[in-house]
Amino acid sequence: MQVTIGKVLGLGGALLGATVAAAACENKAEQKPGAAQSGALGASQSLKQLMEARGLTEADVEAALKTYVPGGKHDEYMIFASGGHSGQVLVLGVPSMRLLKVIAVFAPEPWQGYGYGGESDKVLAGGDQNGKRIGWADVHHPNLSETKGDYDGKFLFVNDKANGRVAVIDLGDFNTKQIVANPLVGSDHGGAFVDPNTEYVIETSQYPVPLGRDYAPITEYKEKYRGVAMFWKFDREKGRIDPAQSFAVELPPYTQDLADAGKLVSDGWVFINSFNTEMAVGGTLEGKPPIESGASKNDMDYLHILDWRKAERLVKDGKATTIKGMRVLPMKVAADEGALALVGEPKSPHGCDVTPDGTGIVVGGKLDTHATVYEFSKIKSLIDQKKFEGKDEYGIPILAFKESIRGQVEIGLGPLHTVFDDKGFAYTSVFIESVVAKWSMKDLKVTEKLSVHYNIGHIMAAEGDTVSPDGKYVVAMNKMSMDRFTKVGPLFPQNFQLVDTTGEQMRILVDAPIGIGEPHYSQMIKIDKLAPHAAYKPGENPYTGKVDPHAVLSPKDARIVRNGTTVDVYMTVIRSHFVPDRIEVDEGDTVNLHMTSLESAEDQVHGFALNMYDVNVSLEPGKHENISFKADVPGVFPFFCTEFCSALHLEMAGYFLVKPKGG
Ligand code: K7E
Ligand code: CUA
- Percentage of the chain beyond pLDDT 70 is 93
Measured in Å, residue 605 CA sits from the centre of ligand 2 at: 7
Q: Tell which phi-psi region holds residue 463, choosing left (phi > 0), alpha (psi between -120 and 50) or beta.
A: left
Cis before 576? omega within 30: yes
Taking the centre of ligand 2 as the mean of its atom positions, its distance from the CA of residue 597, in whole angstroms, is: 11
Output phi, psi for 410, to 5 deg. Answer: -75, 105
d(C-alpha 344, C-alpha 390), whole Å: 11
Closest CA to 364 of 295, 456, 279: 456
Burial (Cβ within 10 Å: 0-12, 13-18, ≥19) of residue 445? exposed
Q: What is the pLDDT of residues 442-501, one digit of tens each?
A: 999 999 999 999 999 999 999 999 999 999 999 999 999 999 999 999 999 999 999 999
39-48, 426-435, 522-531, range with the lowest pLDDT: 39-48
What is the pLDDT confidence band of residue 11, given thresholds at 50, 70 and 90?
very low
Over residues 157-167, mean pLDDT: 98
Residue among 417, 418, 518 to mutate when testing ligand 1 (max atoms within 8 A of CB): 417
pLDDT band at 296 (very low <50, low <70, confident <90, very high): confident
pLDDT in tens, 544-589: 999 999 999 999 999 999 999 999 999 999 999 999 999 999 999 9
Asked if pLDDT for residue 39 goes beyond 90, the answer is no
If you average pLDDT over residues 247-273, what whole number do you get?
98
Q: What is the pLDDT of residues 102-139, one digit of tens each?
A: 999 999 999 999 999 999 999 999 999 989 999 999 99
Q: Which residues contact 354 (CB under 8 A, 6 or more apart)?
A: 260, 261, 262, 263, 266, 271, 360, 361, 362
Does the bond joining 410 to the residue before it have cis omega, within 30 degrees of 0? no
Residue 168 has pLDDT above 80, yes or no: yes
How far is 553 from 556, CA to CA, in rounded Å? 8
Task: Using the predicted structure, report yes or no on whether residue 21 has a pLDDT greater than 90.
Answer: no
Which ranges constitute the DSSP H helices of 126-262? Answer: 221-224
Amino acid 330: pLDDT: 98
- Among the listed ranges 14-23, 327-336, 450-459, which one has the minimum average pLDDT value? 14-23
Q: Which atom of ligand 2 is nearest to the CA of 648?
A: 2
Res. 20 pLDDT band, cuts 50 70 90: very low
Contact status, residue 495 vs residue 508, Cβ threshold 8 Å: no
As a whole number of angstroms, the distance between CA 288 and CA 294 comes to: 9
Q: Which domains does the chain have, with CATH numbers?
A: 5-67 (no CATH), 77-529 (2.130.10.10), 540-659 (2.60.40.420)
| Cβ-contact 362, 407 below 8 angstroms | no
The arithmetic mean of pLDDT across residues 28-46, rounded, is 48
Mean pLDDT of the chain: 93
The number of the ligand nearest the C-alpha atom of 428 reads 1
354 lines ligand 2 (CB under 6 A): no
Q: How many CB atoms lie within 10 A of CB 361?
A: 29
Confidence of residue 45 (pLDDT cuts 50, 70, 90): confident
Using CA atoms, how far apart are residues 234 and 49, in angstroms rounded to an integer?
58
**Residue 512 CB less than 6 A away from ligand 2:** no
Residues with CB under 6 A from ligand 1: 140-141, 189, 258, 350, 416-417, 457-458, 520-521
pLDDT of residue 17: 41
Q: Which residue has the higher pLDDT, 33 or 61?
A: 61
Kindly state the DSSP code that residue 554 receives in the 8-state scheme.
Answer: S
Buried b (16+ CB within 10 A) or exposed e, 552-584: beeeeebeeeeeeeebbbbbbbbbbbbbbeebe
DSSP state of 84: B
Rounded CA gap, 311 and 314, in Å?
5
The reported pLDDT for the residue numbered 18 is 38
What value does the mean pLDDT take over residues 22-26?
38
CA proximity to 277, closest of 303, 258, 308: 303
The number of the ligand 2 atom at minimal distance from the alpha carbon of 643 is: 2
Backbone dihedral angles phi then psi of residue 122, each to the nearest 5 degrees? -70, -35
Q: What is the sign, positive or negative, of the torsion defined by CA atoms of 317, 323, 328, 329?
A: negative
Mean pLDDT to the nearest integer, 382-387? 97
- Residue 660 CB coordination number (10 Å): 11
pTM greater than 0.85: yes
pLDDT of 5 strictly over 60: no
The whole-number pLDDT of residue 373 equals 98
| CA atoms of 174 and 90, how far apart (whole Å) | 11
Q: How confident is the model at residue 177 (pLDDT cuts 50, 70, 90)?
A: very high
From residue 114, how far is each of 117, 169, 627 by CA, in Å? 8, 13, 12
Residue 159 has pLDDT above 50, yes or no: yes
The pLDDT assigned to 273 comes to 96
| pLDDT for 16 | 43
Output the CA 657–ligand 2 centroid distance in Å: 21
Nearby residues of 393 by Cβ (< 8 Å), 6 or more positions away: 222
**Least confident stretch, 26-40, 156-170, 348-362:** 26-40
pLDDT band at 517 (very low <50, low <70, confident <90, very high): confident
Which of these, 260, 292, 297, lies nearest to 278 by C-alpha position? 297
